[in-house]
């Protein structure tokens, strides 16, 4: 792949427009397909907002075009990244259409959060060119992308995908087995399982739990991964703690009933004013602004270190 190659993105939503920005900002022509007209109409404004946030010139916006027809978006693309809703039958039908309309040498990637790639490409013939490319939200601010392989046949496609990601300033990590949730979402939801169980058991309220993470071990996570931290303090300490703690950690093998009950009551979080905690619109907006500003600062620092 080179800076001249055309990229296609399937889905112009939260993830799709950010991924489109990343490739366009690196000089690629980017064609985005979405069947919803308003999603395509919003693209230039949304990409322009990322340019403003990251203080890049607006040339990326001009390199991105919207296409109501999937065929038009993918016909000449060397790399196609699907970022449509997280529904297996939908993704399977999109990949069947990609096999029919894409160049035979194009790499086909899915941005699925948790569905195994093997299931997504179940109905297509040439699976060797299909990989997972799991960007994190917001993709223009979080550098990690998990690149998922199914079998050794996928390795060349995965390596090519990783080279393309490095070229646009992302940090790819190879996931060697195609398991649900890959690495990051398994880690994240293992943490959420314990968090929900602690609140449900009345050990603390949701605000205290978030403080423990943000002001405690979370404060070091960006510079010290959990295994690095164990290596730093000594594995004997980690073992001593595990010997005591492991029998008590939550192992509920399904969605926790506490979460099921909140969702059933329509308590969905900031968008409904109440989830694990209560939120006024002002409080919710303050959290969004704090998050966006922190991530933009962190992305700028990472970019500055590379130059």
Member of 22, 51, 79, 94 binding ligand NAD (CB under 6 A)? 94
- Does 9 bind ligand NAD (CB under 6 A)? Our answer is no
Q: Which of 1, 13, 256, 273 binds ligand NAD (CB under 6 A)?
A: 13
Count interface residues toward ligand NAD (CB under 6 A): 24
Closer to ligand NAD by Cβ: residue 90 or 224 = 90
Q: Is residue 113 at the binding interface for ligand NAD, with CB under 6 A as the rule? A: yes
Residues 6+ apart with CB under 8 A from 255: none
Burial class (CB in 10 A: 0-12, 13-18, 19+), 238: middle
Q: Which is nearer to ligand NAD, 40 or 204 (CB)?
A: 40
| Pair of tokens at residue 182 | 């890959």
DSSP 275: S
CB of 20 to ligand NAD, least distance (A): 11
Point out which span in 106-114, 157-165, 206-214, 239-247 binds ligand NAD (CB under 6 A).
Answer: 106-114
CA distances from 149 to 8, 162, 230, 278 (A): 20, 11, 28, 41
Verify binding: residue 69, ligand NAD, rule CB under 6 A. no
Query: Is the separation of the CB atoms in 95 and 123 below 8 Å?
Result: yes
Q: Which residue stretches of the chain are H helix?
A: 14-25, 37-54, 59-63, 70-74, 88-101, 117-120, 155-167, 184-200, 206-212, 218-221, 226-233, 235-245, 257-264, 281-306
* Residue choice 8, 25, 29, 33 for contact with ligand NAD (CB under 6 A): 33
Q: Which of 7, 22, 39, 262 binds ligand NAD (CB under 6 A)?
A: 39
The answer to whether 111 contacts ligand NAD (rule: CB under 6 A) is yes
Q: Is 43 near ligand NAD (CB under 6 A)?
A: no
């Amino acid at each position: 792949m080179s800076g001249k190659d055309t990229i296609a993105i399937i889905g112009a939503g939260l993830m799709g427009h950010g991924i489109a920005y990343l490739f366009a900002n690196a000089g690629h022509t980017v064609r985005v397909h979405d069947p919803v007209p308003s999603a395509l109409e919003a693209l230039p404004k949304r990409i322009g907002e990322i340019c403003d946030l990251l203080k890049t010139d607006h040339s990326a916006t001009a390199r991105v075009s919207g296409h109501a027809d999937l065929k038009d978006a993918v016909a000449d693309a060397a790399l196609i990244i699907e970022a449509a809703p997280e529904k297996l039958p939908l993704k399977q039908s999109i990949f069947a259409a990609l096999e029919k309309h894409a160049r035979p040498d194009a790499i086909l990637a899915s941005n699925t959060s948790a569905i195994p790639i093997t299931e997504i490409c179940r109905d297509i013939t040439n699976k060797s060119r299909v990989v997972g490319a799991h960007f994190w939200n917001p993709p223009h601010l979080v550098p990690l992308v998990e690149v998922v392989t199914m079998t050794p046949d996928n390795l060349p496609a995965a390596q090519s995908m990783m080279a393309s990601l490095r070229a646009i300033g992302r940090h790819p990590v190879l996931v060697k087995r195609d398991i649900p949730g890959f690495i990051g979402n398994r880690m994240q939801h293992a943490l959420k399982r314990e968090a929900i169980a602690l609140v449900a058991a009345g050990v603390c309220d949701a605000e205290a739990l978030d403080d423990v993470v943000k002001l405690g071990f979370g404060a070091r996570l960006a510079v010290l991964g959990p295994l690095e931290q164990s290596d730093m303090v000594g594995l004997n300490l980690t073992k001593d703690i595990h010997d005591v703690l492991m029998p008590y950690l939550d192992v509920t093998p399904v969605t926790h009933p506490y979460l099921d009950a909140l969702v059933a009551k329509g308590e969905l979080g900031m968008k409904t004013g109440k989830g694990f905690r209560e939120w006024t619109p002002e409080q919710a907006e303050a959290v969004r602004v704090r998050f966006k500003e922190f991530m933009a600062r962190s992305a700028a620092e990472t970019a500055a270190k590379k130059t």
